[in-house]
Amino acid sequence: MGKFSIPKLGFLLLCCLAALTEATYVKYKDPKQPLGVRIKDLMRRMTLAEKIGQMTQIERTVATPDAMKNYFIGSVLSGGGSVPAQKATPETWIEMVNTMQKASLSTRLGIPMIYGIDAVHGHNNVYKATIFPHNIGLGVTRDPNLVKRIGEATALEVRATGIPYVFAPCIAVCRDPRWGRCYESYSEDHKIVQMMTEIITGLQGGLPVHSKKGVPFVAGKNKVAACAKHYVGDGGTTKGINENNTVISWNGLLGIHMPAYFNSIAKGVATIMTSYSSWNGKKMHANHDLVTDFLKNKLKFRGFVISDWQGLDRITSPPHANYSYSVEAGVGAGIDMVMVPYNFTEFIDDLTYQVKNNIIPMSRIDDAVKRILRVKFVMGLFENPMADNSLVNQLGSQAREAVRKSLVLLKNGESADKPLLPLPKKATKILVAGTHADNLGYQCGGWTITWQGLGGNDLTTGTTILQAVKNTVDSSTQVVYSENPDAGFVKSGEFSYAIVVVGEPPYAETYGDSLNLTISEPGPKTIYNVCGSVKCVVVVISGRPVVVQPFVSSVHALVAAWLPGTEGQGVADVLFGDYGFTGKLARTWFKTVDQLPMNVGDSHYDPLFPFGFGLTTKPTHQN
């Protein structure tokens, strides 16, 4: 008998193991199962608390392991400039994200959280990341392949810090440059904005051939989920006032502000963010017709709809005046994930009460959670929830090509046969002047390291325009820098020519709303002092067209450089003729602010420089 006991024991052990495996096998954890089966299997296991947790997105500063575990939090975000440490390394970011993720995975069902961040012109919160030109400059390039490559580079840098989700791109159609977010818009023309949705393909990867319309797609660990924002009409508000009311007919909304959403959905965009603004007096965060009936049902969008920062609070005026109403209106309108971001227990309690009391139907909660899980499954978050260090060396790819192609040459010499540009590299002595010539923060604009942006050169790594000029000119050329020289200094300096770099200070959102659109002082004075005494090229660093008409006649050459980002070398590349100017205005340049709003095709169209304008130069081969 003895010799049969070991095989028998082994057989029994195998039976037990098989039974155990069968007991722990769950379909939602099996990547071989179809997407629909995984979603259904996980949904039927979830309690109401677990479902509402998935709908809740909280700020990193309150995302403790206990909060993640106890409330089953589905998502965490970094607000603008919210970082684990000043000048944090990719490794520090990864450690923070993984700490939160471990807490999520330790819950009963182990549903991974998704971490989101604004990466609106590169991975802009992160020290040493590449800061690309803001969208207003990219629209000028009319180059969808370029923005696709920018999307690819951004995705790698975001993943390098352990983050799988970005609140980008902004596909607003800015119809009034007085809007403080105009630089986040590619153009006043929806056709250019539609073209630029190719950045989604760069961020998420190209759609598989037979993919279903509207189903989100993210191609693995080197890609990120994207977010088309802000749905819909954010760039059309009255007088460009941020978060205000867009007054336009249904056909106007469909014809101008909606088209880029058609393209984004066709490209498999994973998420869409609702706008703070209203359409004909109705807050977008509470607009069931547009969020549920049109976006989800008619356009067949299958990803999830996310609110903006405290977007539900702002359904009422003043914000948060009647929060339970805001929760009912926002979730009822079709918002799936709510960017709370701090007081998440209030949101969870209110929503739980409303579901339990049949104020919000369970079917609405199930719709939201299915959509959120769909994105998480599609991204491979269940298979690869933890960030790793394999991409940490990806920070800091080159943005020079984007800068070169985004510049618009508005004036070049007194006549076509006497151009000033390209500038000679070999000259006895040249002057570089202006507030923006040696200021990396001004060059990058808002949404850079902090929400509103910073002045100075200590925010991150990069090349200022002054440094780029010094790098480019002949070694025998003397470069003199004076931020705001007086006329006497310029006259007595015997300069061969001058480069004046002036513009707007950094700003974001409402802080950028402006009724006068002027170049910051002492910019205009610097232009007069310098250009009155020596041949000069004025480079304007701004988030939109600004008032230049008073001094166009007194400058010899004029360049719109927008907000070029960290790679100032791209500006020098074109000023000195290593590359030619190719950019064409994607925005109308007004004569006076009294003309606004004024867009191409308007009956009162009388611009200083029309939409599509841009002089060109040929590259030169200088010694």
User: Annotated catalytic sites, by residue?
Assistant: 308, 509
Identity (one letter) of the amino acid at 389? N
Distances (CA, A) of 439 to 165, 430, 541, 545, 568: 30, 19, 11, 20, 10
78's enclosing H/E stretch is strand 75-78
With contact defined as beta carbons under 8 Å apart, do 439 and 457 qualify? yes
The dihedral through the CA atoms of 50, 54, 56, 62 has a sign that is: positive
Structure-token pair, residue 144: 């969808």
86: which residues sit within 8 A by CB, 6+ positions away? Answer: 127
Among residues 324, 519, 535, 342, the alpha carbon closest in space to that of 423 is found at: 535
| 513-549 burial: b if 16+ Cβ within 10 Å, else e | bbeebebbeebbebbbbbbebbbbbbbbbbbbbbbbe
Structure tokens given for 41: 């299997």
C-beta of residue 463 within 8 angstroms of C-beta of residue 130: no
Could you give the CA distance from residue 531 to residue 465 in angstroms, rounded to a whole number? 19
Residue 500's φ and ψ, nearest 5 degrees, are -110, 125
Q: How far is CA 320 from the centre of its chain?
A: 26
| CA 52 – CA 63 distance, rounded (Å) | 16
**Torsion angles phi and psi, residue 356, rounded to 5:** -65, -25
Using DSSP's 3-state secondary structure scheme, residue 561 falls into strand
Residue 571's nearest CA partner among 395, 409, 352, 385 is 409
Three-class DSSP category at 499: strand
What 3-state class would DSSP assign to 375? helix
Structure token digits, residue 541? 């660093």
Torsion from C-alpha of 559, 560, 563, 564, nearest 10 degrees = -50
The distance in angstroms from the start CA to the end CA of the chain is 97
